[in-house]
C-alpha cells in the first residue's frame, strides 16, 4: 500500500472517529433512581450524561465499573472541566455534588478500548427539602416535653414529673439497659455535667428554646455514680486545662436530685448527687451498724529522703492483739479521702465484726500537699523507699506487728492505685499485696515514646516474676479519650500482663467512673478477695 493510500485511510478513520465521538457525546438524561448501563466498544471513548435536576438540588450517585478503567468528571454545558470524581477507576466510586444550574453534566471517559459500567444518581434532594430531620430523643419523657412545648409553649408538666421522680430521670432502654437523663432549668449560657457516664464533662442541650436543658445516656442497670451540675460555666482565655477546670467555679449538687452525698455537707458546692440503679452492687459495710469501733491515733512523720512531713493515722481494730497470726496490715494512700469521704474505719469495723475479713490494722498515709501527691505517687523510687524503709518499720514498732509481706497490702485509687503497684514492685520483700482501684496505669514519665505509653505494664513485662498478689478494678465509664488509652483499657492490659507473668490477679469492672462513691464499695471487695475471713 502506498504512503498516500495509508494517509488517506488514516484521515478517513479520524473523520469517522470524530463523527462517532460527536454522536457518543450526545447527552443522555440521567433520572434519579434509574441506573444506565453502558458497554464500551473499541471506538466508544466518551459518554455524556445530564442528570435531571434543578439549581440547588443535592445529587448523590455511583459509578460501578464491571470491566475496564474509567474517569468520571463534572463539566458545564460548554464542556469545561469543573471537578474530577474518579481517575482510572476500576471498581465502584460514589460521588455527590450540588447542581448549581441544570446544565451540569457527568462525563465518563474510557481509559481502555473495551469495558462496561453502570451510572446512577440514587439520591436527589431539592433545595427546599434540605433541612435537618426533626430531633429525636432517647428519653420518651423529653420527647413528650418537646411536643408539648411546641404545641403549648409550656414546660410545667415536665418539671412536675422531675420534681416528683427526682433527677436524673430513669427510663427503660433496649437490651436491658436504662436511659438516664440529666436535666437542668433556666441556665443563661450552658450547663455542664461533672461526672457523666461518658467519663468526660458533658454539655446539657437546650430543648427548643424552652427552659429545659437535658442530656441522655444509655447505661447498665448496675450503674452507680456521683455527679454535679455546673450552670453558666465561664468561657475563659488560657490553656485547654484552664478552660476545663473552670467548671469548678460553679459545679454543685443537682438541686433536683433527691440523694445528696454527703447529706450533711457544709454547702452544695461541697456535695455531690447520687445515682444508684437497681442492680448496682450492694455496699453493705458503709453504714453505721453499731459495731465495736476501732481506735485511731495519728502522728506527724518527717522524711529527710523526701524533704517533707506528712500526717499518718493508724486504725487498730477493736480488741486488737498484735500476736494474732491472721492479722492484716493495710496501707491506704490519700488519707483524708479514706478517713472522711470513704469512711474506711467504719467499713473495717463492720467487716471485721461480721468476720468477712481478718482483724486489719489500717495505716492512712496523707499527702503533704497536691504537688507532693503528683510528684510522689506516680512511680517514684524515693517514695517507695520511704514506704519500705521509713514508714513500715515505724508502723511495726508502733503496733507490735511482725513483718509479714504476705499479710501486708498497699491500697489506693487513681494515683494511689498506681503507687500501690509500683511501691510493691520495688519492694516485694515488704509489701506482698496490691489493691488498686481505678489505678492510673495510663501514666508514663515525661518524654516516654508513644509506643511505650503503657509504661507500668511494660515494667512488669520486662521484669522478673514477683511474689505479689493483685486486686485490680476499673470503671466501665473510665474509657479512652483524646487519643490516649483510658483507665479501663490500661487496667485490662495490666491484668493480662500480670496473668502472663503468673502473678495472681483478682480483676473486677464496675458500671461507674472515677468516683469515691464507687471506691467505697470496691475497697471492701478487694479486701475480701485478698484476705477472706472466716465468714465469706
Q: What is the model's pLDDT at position 112? A: 86
Q: Count how many Cα atoms sit within 13 Å of the Cα of residue 157 in the half-sphere of its side chain.
A: 12
Rounded distance between C-alpha atoms, residue 168 and residue 232, angstroms: 19
Lowest mean pLDDT among 30-44, 163-177, 313-327, 331-345: 30-44
Give yes or no for residue 516 having a pLDDT over 50.
yes
Domain 145-276 CATH (choose: 3.30.430.20, 2.60.120.10, 3.30.360.10, 2.60.40.10)? 2.60.40.10
Q: What is the model's pLDDT at position 2? A: 40
Q: What is the model's pLDDT at position 6? A: 31
b/e 383-395 (16+ beta carbons within 10 angstroms → b): bbbbbbebbbeeb
Average pLDDT over residues 195-204: 93
Assign 307 a pLDDT band (cuts: 50, 70, 90): very high
Q: What is the model's pLDDT at position 8? A: 36
Q: What is the model's pLDDT at position 225? A: 98
Count other Cβ atoms within 10 Å, centred on residue 200. 17
Inter-residue contact 120 to 33 (CB < 8 Å): yes
Q: What is the model's pLDDT at position 133? A: 81
b/e 121-151 (16+ beta carbons within 10 angstroms → b): beebbeeeeeeeeeeebbbebbeebbebbee
Rounded distance between C-alpha atoms, residue 29 and residue 52, angstroms: 7
Q: Count how many Cα atoms sit within 13 Å of the Cα of residue 509 in the half-sphere of its side chain.
A: 13
Nearest to 35 by CA among 121, 124, 125: 121
Quick: pLDDT tens for 413-423. 999 999 999 99
Cell of 169: 430521670
Q: What is the model's pLDDT at position 9? A: 35
Q: What is the model's pLDDT at position 17? A: 33
Average pLDDT over residues 351-356: 97
Q: What is the model's pLDDT at position 168? A: 99
Average pLDDT over residues 34-63: 90
In terms of pLDDT, which residue wins out, 465 or 9? 465
**For residue 376, cis peptide bond before it (omega within 30 degrees of 0):** no
Q: What is the model's pLDDT at position 483? A: 66
Considering the chain, tell me which residue range(s) the CATH 3.40.50.1820 domain(s) occupy. 296-442+454-530
Measured CA to CA in angstroms, residue 74 lies from 7, 82, 91, 215 at distances of 36, 5, 19, 43
Write the CB contacts of 399 (distance below 8 Å, at least 6 apart in sequence): 314, 316, 322, 329, 361
Measured CA to CA in angstroms, residue 481 lies from 127, 215, 216, 219, 489 at distances of 38, 19, 19, 18, 11
Q: What is the model's pLDDT at position 484? A: 75
Q: What is the model's pLDDT at position 240? A: 83
Q: What is the model's pLDDT at position 155? A: 98
Q: What is the model's pLDDT at position 431? A: 99
Assign 43 a pLDDT band (cuts: 50, 70, 90): low
State pTM to two decimals: 0.81
CATH T-level topology, domain 296-442+454-530: Rossmann fold (3.40.50)
Assign 62 a pLDDT band (cuts: 50, 70, 90): very high
What DSSP state is assigned to residue 379?
Answer: T
Q: What is the model's pLDDT at position 41? A: 79
Quick: pLDDT tens for 437-486. 999 999 999 988 888 889 999 999 999 999 999 999 999 999 987 667 89
Assign 241 a pLDDT band (cuts: 50, 70, 90): confident
Assign 19 a pLDDT band (cuts: 50, 70, 90): very low
Considering the chain, tell me which residue range(s) the CATH 2.60.120.380 domain(s) occupy. 23-129
Q: What is the model's pLDDT at position 199? A: 86
The most distant pair of C-alpha atoms in the chain lies apart, rounded to whole Å, by: 122
Computed over every residue of the chain, the mean pLDDT equals 92
CATH architecture, range 23-129: Sandwich (2.60)
Considering the chain, tell me which residue range(s) the CATH 2.60.40.10 domain(s) occupy. 145-276
Q: What is the model's pLDDT at position 135? A: 82
Quick: pLDDT tens for 310-344. 999 999 999 999 999 999 999 999 999 999 999 99
Give yes or no for residue 276 having a pLDDT over 70.
yes
Give the helix ranges, DSSP H, for 156-228: 156-165
Average pLDDT over residues 245-254: 94
Q: What is the model's pLDDT at position 3? A: 34
Backbone angles phi, psi at 137, to 5 degrees: -130, 135
Amino acid at each position: 500500500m502506498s504512503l498516500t493510500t495509508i494517509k488517506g485511510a488514516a484521515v478517513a478513520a479520524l473523520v469517522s472517529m470524530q463523527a462517532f465521538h460527536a454522536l457518543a457525546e450526545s447527552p443522555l438524561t440521567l433520572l434519579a433512581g434509574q441506573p444506565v448501563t453502558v458497554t464500551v466498544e473499541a471506538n466508544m471513548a466518551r459518554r455524556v450524561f445530564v442528570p435531571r435536576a434543578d439549581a440547588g438540588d443535592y445529587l448523590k450517585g455511583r459509578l460501578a465499573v464491571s470491566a475496564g478503567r474509567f474517569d468520571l468528571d463534572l463539566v458545564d454545558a460548554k464542556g469545561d472541566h469543573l471537578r474530577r470524581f474518579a481517575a482510572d477507576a476500576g471498581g465502584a466510586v460514589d460521588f455527590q455534588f450540588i447542581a448549581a444550574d441544570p446544565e451540569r453534566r457527568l462525563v465518563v471517559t474510557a481509559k481502555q478500548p473495551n469495558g462496561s459500567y453502570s451510572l446512577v444518581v440514587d439520591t436527589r434532594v431539592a433545595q427546599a427539602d434540605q433541612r435537618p430531620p426533626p430531633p429525636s430523643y432517647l428519653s420518651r419523657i423529653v420527647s413528650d416535653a418537646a411536643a408539648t412545648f411546641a404545641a403549648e409553649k409550656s414546660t410545667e408538666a415536665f418539671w412536675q414529673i422531675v420534681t416528683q421522680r427526682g433527677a436524673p430521670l430513669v427510663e427503660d432502654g433496649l437490651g436491658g439497659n436504662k436511659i438516664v437523663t440529666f436535666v437542668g432549668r433556666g441556665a443563661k449560657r450552658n450547663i455542664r455535667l461533672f461526672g457523666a457516664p461518658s467519663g468526660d464533662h458533658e454539655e446539657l442541650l437546650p430543648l427548643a428554646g424552652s427552659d429545659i436543658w437535658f442530656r441522655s445516656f444509655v447505661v447498665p442497670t448496675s450503674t452507680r455514680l456521683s455527679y454535679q451540675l455546673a450552670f453558666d460555666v465561664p468561657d475563659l482565655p488560657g490553656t485547654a486545662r484552664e478552660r476545663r477546670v473552670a467548671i469548678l467555679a460553679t459545679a454543685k449538687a443537682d438541686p433536683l436530685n433527691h440523694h445528696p452525698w454527703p447529706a450533711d455537707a457544709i454547702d452544695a458546692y461541697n456535695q455531690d448527687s447520687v445515682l444508684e440503679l437497681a442492680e448496682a452492687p450492694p455496699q453493705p459495710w458503709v453504714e453505721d451498724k453499731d459495731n465495736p469501733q476501732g481506735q485511731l491515733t495519728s502522728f506527724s512523720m518527717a522524711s529527710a529522703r523526701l524533704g517533707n512531713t506528712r500526717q499518718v493515722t493508724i486504725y487498730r481494730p477493736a480488741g486488737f492483739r498484735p500476736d494474732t497470726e491472721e492479722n492484716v496490715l493495710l496501707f491506704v494512700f490519700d488519707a483524708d479521702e479514706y478517713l472522711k469521704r470513704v469512711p474506711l474505719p467504719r467499713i473495717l469495723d463492720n467487716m471485721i465484726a461480721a468476720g468477712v475479713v481478718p482483724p486489719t490494722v489500717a495505716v492512712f498515709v496523707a499527702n503533704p500537699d497536691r504537688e507532693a501527691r503528683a510528684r510522689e505517687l506516680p512511680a517514684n523510687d524515693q517514695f517507695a523507699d520511704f514506704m519500705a524503709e521509713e514508714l513500715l518499720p515505724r508502723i511495726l514498732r508502733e503496733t507490735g506487728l511482725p513483718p509479714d509481706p504476705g499479710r501486708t497490702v498497699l491500697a489506693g485509687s487513681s494515683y494511689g492505685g498506681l503507687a500501690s503497684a509500683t511501691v510493691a514492685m520495688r519492694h516485694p520483700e515488704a509489701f506482698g499485696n496490691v489493691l488498686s482501684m481505678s489505678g492510673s496505669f495510663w501514666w508514663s514519665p515525661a518524654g516516654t515514646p508513644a509506643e511505650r505509653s503503657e509504661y507500668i505494664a511494660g515494667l512488669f513485662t520486662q521484669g522478673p516474676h514477683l511474689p505479689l498478689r493483685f486486686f485490680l478494678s476499673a470503671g466501665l465509664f473510665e474509657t479512652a479519650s483524646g487519643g490516649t488509652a483510658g483507665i479501663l483499657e490500661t487496667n485490662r492490659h495490666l491484668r493480662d500482663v500480670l496473668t502472663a507473668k503468673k502473678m495472681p490477679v483478682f480483676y473486677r469492672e464496675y458500671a461507674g467512673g472515677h468516683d469515691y462513691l464507687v471506691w467505697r464499695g470496691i475497697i471492701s471487695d478487694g479486701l475480701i478477695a485478698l484476705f477472706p475471713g472466716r465468714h465469706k
